Chains A and B, each alone.
Chain A
């Protein structure tokens, strides 16, 4: 499923100027608020669902080549984070929904990691 379809289905706010959402197809997802766990567990092209909204999520997403970061529970990244994300080409999305609900909806949409779908 393409990122633009996911944004529509979950009514996510697109925080970074991203024109190419329809060219990105997430490979699955990963959820954690501990950055090192994300570093260790998230796969290239994954969606990352987290409560964290500070500057360092951009570095993590960029280093891991993540498809996008979904920031949950209405947390708002500050201007510096948004600027950095734009610079690095990292897509930030946000939603008032809690992490659990976001993951549940994504799972229903068929956004699952290859090893767990089998």
Chain B
């Protein structure tokens, strides 16, 4: 097949060369049993050639293995049928016209073995047998082409997903401790951009392959903290999120005015928001409560007149061995 590809294109670009070699690679990787047709129509040696003709026409096939007591003894093809028609001998039994002892391939062989046979001999199809020589399927050049195209498409899709998710970032970079730090400056009163930092952090987590539920929790917690910076601070503050394979640590700090009574601020329904802000639907006194619900660990420290620091952690589940993208990958 690769020979055909090579002769078909006069100028071979690097891109084409790359593709050819990938197809060749796949031809070695893919097993015959993965691309063969396993529902095989078979003939008996004592069937008449008339039956073969009718079977081929109805099933739209051009060849069938011939079985005797379950053993593969031959292959009858459209070429054999044509010879028979020329002799006007449709009443003859299959064993007179079939090709006896056909070349076979094993189901566990790589597709390249079948391709070699197709290239060196003029067969249109090959019976596929298992280790004990029993028929398990039939393979044509068309089956191989379709199988390779499917595999190439899978390749392409997984490459796309990989590129999009960027989850291999943590696999590709080796260090004692790898982390990604996202930092956002939040301005006081900037309702127009409220929620952007949290949305960006959430999106980054999803791209890094974090479970959607965790990305959502993190988004909610950061959103509440972000809105607190916009609503309650004198000049805004900073959100710093550190993403590691095993946890997300978020540090939110500002330079005033601080919280007078942290314990009271943590109580559901308590808010110091202004009437104007409340009209917008903020100031329900649920922000810190929501944060506490969404994170695995939080610490709120504040000094009146100085500022506030809120630290939160969300732990990531250890990656399952076989589920890609379920958790941040750890090397």
Which residues from chain A sit less than 8 Å from chain B, CB to CB? 33-37, 39-40, 44, 50, 52, 54-60, 62-65, 80, 88
Contact = CB atoms under 8 A, between A and B. Distances in A.
Interface in B198-250: 198-199, 202, 212, 216, 219-220, 223-224, 227
B182 interface: no
B131 interface: no
Given A62-B199, A63-B199, A64-B216, A55 B191 contact: yes
21 contacts: A34-B284, A34-B286, A35-B284, A36-B284, A36-B286, A37-B284, A39-B223, A39-B224, A40-B289, A40-B290, A50-B281, A55-B191, A56-B191, A56-B195, A56-B227, A56-B280, A59-B194, A62-B195, A63-B216, A63-B223, A64-B219
B282 interface: yes
B196 A37 contact: no
A44 B227 CA distance: 21
B312 to A, nearest CB: 15
A44 B219 CA distance: 13
A65 B293 CA distance: 18
Given A63-B202, A63-B216, A64-B216, A35 B282 contact: yes
> Chain B binding site: helix, strand, loop or mixed by DSSP?
helix
B287 interface: yes
B286 A59 contact: no
Contacts, number: 72
Contacts of A60: 195, 223
B196 A36 contact: no
A35 B290 CA distance: 11
A40 B293 contact: yes
B268 to A, nearest CB: 9
Given A36-B290, A40-B290, A40-B293, A59 B220 contact: no
A65 B280 CA distance: 21
Contacts of B196: 59
A80 B192 contact: yes
A50 B279 CA distance: 13
Contact of A55 (B192, B212, B220, B224): B192
Contacts of B287: 36
A56 B289 contact: no
A33 B281 contact: yes
Given A35-B227, A59-B194, A59-B199, 5 more contacts: A35-B280, A56-B194, A56-B282, A59-B196, A63-B220
